[in-house]
Chain A
Amino acid sequence: MIKRLARHYHFMREHLWTNSHLSPYLDQEVSAAERIRVEEHTHVCPKCHRMLETLRETLEGLRAMGAEGGAPSGLTDSVMERVRGER
């Protein structure tokens, strides 16, 4: 009984800690020890595992959005026309 409680307490502590470290983990802003801690818990916790995977997909999707676009061709000229009109 006590053992089970202790195990549960340990799991919940790791769960909360991991949850708040997924973002820095994916940004590679954690220490080697912290990285292992995240990986050990996500290995045994389906919730955190899913959190991590969906967060990873989210960040990849967002990054892909940054590759596109480009200002309209006349934008610089329009800006400079207004700059020249300032004085």
Chain B
Amino acid sequence: MLRPMRPVSHADEDDLVARAQAGDQGAFEELVRRHADRLYAVVTRFVGDRQEAEEVTQEAFLRAWRGIGRFQGNSQFFTWLYRIGINEAKRRVGRRASPAGSTSLDEHPGLEVSDLSQAPETSADRRELRGVLEGAIRALGPDYRAALILRDIEGLSTSEAAETLDLGEAAFKSRLHRARLSVRKAVDDYLGDER
């Protein structure tokens, strides 16, 4: 199982980080192993494509390795890592955006609704709601999408998610609130047709 969603903060994680900072590749490998699933999940939600998510995740880890000397240790390692991953994902998404700066995410190759909806036990209704949620997430601007993914999908606390995005808690909450309202609207429209 992948739960807990957040990388468990092992007592020896500080030690692994310190060793990696000293150039120990084995220690870094252990950090990659611990955080690969969740970082990949965050990035996949963000870019909406598994192949691209794998590339972004690899690139993020490589950047983390190169920059690990700059990691201060006054934030948690995984929030630092997620920040690198999200910045890399934003770069990719920005690069493939149309030159006219169109914000319509529908134009971009995204996840097919079925792509992330393979859980066999989900009912047709759940799958349909899932599709609505995925469409609504994709339609959010990158900053709003990142806030929603970290807090509401990955289950980070407000302070962890705010730290990842380098925001104060109040600013983060207001961003999250707007993202939620936008996704809720899509759900409401969907349920409105049903009920």
Contacts and interface: CB of A to CB of B under 8 A. Distances in A.
A71 interface: yes
Given A72-B54, A82-B62, A86-B66, A61 B133 contact: yes
B40 A69 contact: yes
Contacts of A24: 173
Interface residues of B, number: 44
Contacts, number: 106
A75 B130 contact: no
A32 to B, nearest CB: 20
Contacts of B45: 65
Contacts of B191: 54, 57
A1 to B, nearest CB: 36
A69 B41 contact: yes
Given A62-B152, A76-B36, A78-B58, A67 B2 contact: yes
B97 to A, nearest CB: 24
A80 interface: yes
A63 interface: yes
A83 interface: yes
B22 interface: no
A83 B158 CA distance: 32
B62 A69 contact: no
B47 interface: no
B152 A59 contact: yes
Given A23-B177, A51-B184, A75-B58, A68 B133 contact: no
Interface of B: 2-3, 5, 25, 28-29, 32-33, 36-37, 39-41, 44-45, 50, 54, 57-58, 61-62, 65-66, 116, 119, 126, 129-130, 133, 148, 152-155, 158, 173, 176-177, 180, 183-184, 187-188, 191
Closest 4 CB pairs of A and B: A71-B40, A71-B36, A62-B152, A69-B41
25 contacts: A24-B173, A54-B188, A61-B130, A61-B133, A61-B187, A62-B133, A63-B155, A65-B45, A65-B130, A66-B153, A68-B41, A68-B116, A69-B37, A69-B40, A69-B41, A69-B116, A71-B36, A71-B41, A72-B54, A75-B36, A80-B29, A82-B58, A83-B25, A83-B65, A84-B25
Given A23-B180, A29-B158, A76-B32, 17 more contacts: A50-B188, A51-B184, A62-B152, A62-B153, A65-B130, A66-B154, A68-B116, A68-B119, A69-B116, A71-B39, A76-B36, A79-B32, A79-B61, A80-B29, A82-B62, A83-B28, A83-B29
